[in-house]
Structure 1
Amino acid sequence: MTDSPIKVLITDDNPIVRSALRAILSNEQDIVLVGEAGNGEQALDLARQTDPDVTLLDHRMPVADGLHVVSELSRYTSVLALTSDDSPRVIAAMLRGGAQGYLVHGHFDAPDLVRAVRAVAAGQGWLSPVAVPIATAALRKEDDDDRLERWRADLARRTGLTAREREILTLLGAGLTNGTIGQRLGLTEKTVKNHLSSVFAKIQVVSRTEAAVRWNTPS
C-alpha cells in the first residue's frame, strides 16, 4: 500500500459497470477516483491530465478499444484490464501491450478488485485465476509462432526460397493439395508442381511430407 492515496481512472463504455466499480472503490480510504472514461481516446486524454496510478481498462469499447490504446496508456499509468473477454488472443495482446493485470468479469468479487488495484499500483502483476492458464497458453503459443516464423525466414534466406515458394510451402505444410494451392494462389496445378520441384531441391528434400516437416519444425 502506498503512503498517498492510489489514484484510479475507470474506463468502460457501460455506465452501469462504471457505477459499480465506483461504488466498490470509493469505499476504500487508500483509493481516490480521478475520472471516468467511456472509450480509449477519453482514457488517454484523462490519463494525461490526471496522472492516475492505475487505470481500469475495458477491452470492447467504441471509438478506440482497449487493445488500441493499452500500449500508449501504459506510458502514463499502470493498466489493469477489466473486461468480460477471456479470449486467449485478447489476454495475450493486452499483457504484451503493457497491462500489468487482467480481471475477467464474473470471476472476481469486490475484495479481489481492491487487492488487484493495490497490487498493480505497487508494480505487481495480477490475473484472475481463470485467466492464468489462458494467458500462459496464449503467450506460449505466440512465442512458438514467433520462433516458427524466425525459423522459416532463416531457412528461406539460407536456401534462396522466393516469396512465392514460401507461400506454396506454407500451404503445402497446412495439408493442401497442389490443386487447392493453385486455386488459392491463382496458379495452374502444373505451375505449383514446378515451384515445388524447385523448393524440394533448395531445401534438400524428396517428398511432400519431408518438405512439410522441414518447413513446420524449427531446429
Structure 2
Amino acid sequence: MIDVLVVDDNPIVREALRGFLDGTGSARVVAEAGDGRQALTLARRLRPAVTLLDHRMPIADGLSVLGDLCRWTAVLVLTSDADPHLVGEMLRGGARGYLVHGEFDPEELLRAVHAVARGQGWLSAQAAAVAVSAVREQADRQRTEHEQQEQQRRLRVRLGLTPREEDVLGLVAQGLSNAAIARRLLVTEKTVKNHLHHAFAKLHVGNRTEAVLRWTSRREAG
C-alpha cells in the first residue's frame, strides 16, 4: 500500500484524487494539504511515499517548497501548468514525475504513482516533450560554447597571445583602467602593464586603443 499526500488548493480536486486512489487497493491518501506550507508540515510528520503536488497555490506554491518536500517524500507534480520553464525547474528541483491535467487518465495516474514510489520517473506527453527539448537545447549550447572556445584558442595561437593577455585586453575593451584590471584579476598593476606591453608587441601596436581595435577586428574576422 502506497501512502500518498495530496497537495492542491482545490478541494474538489483533492476529493477526486482521494476517491480514486483509496479505491485502487494499492494506494491510499493519508493526508491533504491546500498550500505549500501545510504540505511541508504534513510531509515532515508523515513521510508519505509519494506526494501529488500542484504548483499554483496560496501562501507557498509548489516550486517554492519542492526542494524541502523532496527530503521526506517522492514528488509527482500534478498541475494544469505546462509552461516549459516550470517543467524544467520542477524536474531540476527534484520532482520525479510531471503530469498535466487533461493529458492522463486514472490508470496512468496510478501507474505514475507506483513508478515514482519505486524511484522511477514519469512524464506526461507534453512534459516529456519539454524535457527532451531542454536536453537538446543544453547540448546545442554546449556545442556552441565549445566551438567558441576553440575559435578563441585558434585565434590566440595565431596572434601569439597568452590567455591572461587576452583577459587583460578584454577588460581594456570594457574601459577598465590598469588599476581596475589589477583588482579584477587579483594581480599588481605592474603585472597588468607587463601583459599589455607584451600584447602590444605581438599585435604590433603602440597604445591601448590600437590594441583593442586590432584584437577585436581579428576576433570578428575569426
Q: Under a length normalisation based on structure 1, what TM-score does the superposition of the two structures give?
A: 0.69
Superimposed CA distance per residue, residues 94-116 of structure 1 (whole angstroms, 9 cap, x where no aligned partner) = 00000000000000011111110
Shift of 1:89: 0.6
**Given the superposition, is the C-alpha separation of residues 200 and 39 from structure 1 closer, same or farther in structure 2, using an over 3 Å criterion?**
farther
Alpha-carbon displacement from aligned partner over 1:146-178 (angstroms, at most 9, x marks no partner):
78789999x897524349949xxxxxxxxxxxx
SS at match of 1:29: coil
Please, which of 155, 167, 173 is the counterpart of residue 159 of structure 1?
A: 167
- 2:129 alignment partner, one of 129, 133, 138: 133
Q: Which amino acid is the alignment partner of residue 99 of structure 1? A: A
- Secondary structure of the residue aligned to 2:6 is strand
1:200 CA drift (Å): 5.4
Work out the percentage of aligned pairs sharing the same amino acid. Answer: 51
SS of the equivalent of 2:63 reads helix
Give 1:98's aligned residue.
94
CA contact (8 A) 1:6 1:31 kept: yes
Larger Rg: 2
Whichever residue aligns with residue 217 of structure 2, its letter is: V
Match of 2:55 among 56, 59, 84: 59
Q: Distance in 1 between matches of 2:34 and 2:22?
A: 19
- Equivalent in the alignment of 2:12: 16
Give the 5 Å matches for 1:64-75: 64-75=60-71
SS in 2 for 1:130: helix
| Aligned-residue offset at 1:138 | 2.5
Deviation, structure 1 residue 16? 1.3
2:217 aligns with one of 203, 206, 211: 206
Match in the other structure for 1:32: 28
Higher helix share: 2
What are the Cα deviations for residues 10-48 of structure 1, in whole angstroms up to 9, with x where unaligned?
001111111111111111112121111111111111000
Distance 1:163 1:34 in 2: 63
State which of 54, 64, 75 in structure 2 corresponds to 1:79: 75
| 8 A Cα contact 1:165 1:196, kept in partner | no
Alignment of 1:154-193 (within 5 A): 159-160=167-168, 161-162=170-171, 165=174
Equivalent pair of 1:92/1:139 in contact (CA under 8 Å)? no
| More deviation, 41-50/139-148 | 139-148
Q: Which amino acid aligns with 1:159?
A: D
Structure 1 distance, partners of 2:209, 2:116, is 53
Residues 89 and 142 of structure 1: CA distance in aligned 2, closer, same or farther (over 3 Å): farther
Separation (CA, whole Å) in 2 of partners of 1:138 and 1:56? 24
Aligned residues: 176
Structure 1: distance between partners of 2:209 and 2:22: 65
Q: Which runs of 5+ in 2 are unaligned?
A: 153-162, 176-207
Tell me: CA distance 1:133–1:196, structure 2 relative to 1, closer, same or farther (3 Å): farther
- Residue 118 of structure 2 aligns with which residue? 122
Q: What is the deviation of 1:129?
A: 1.7
After superposition, the CA RMSD in angstroms is 3.3
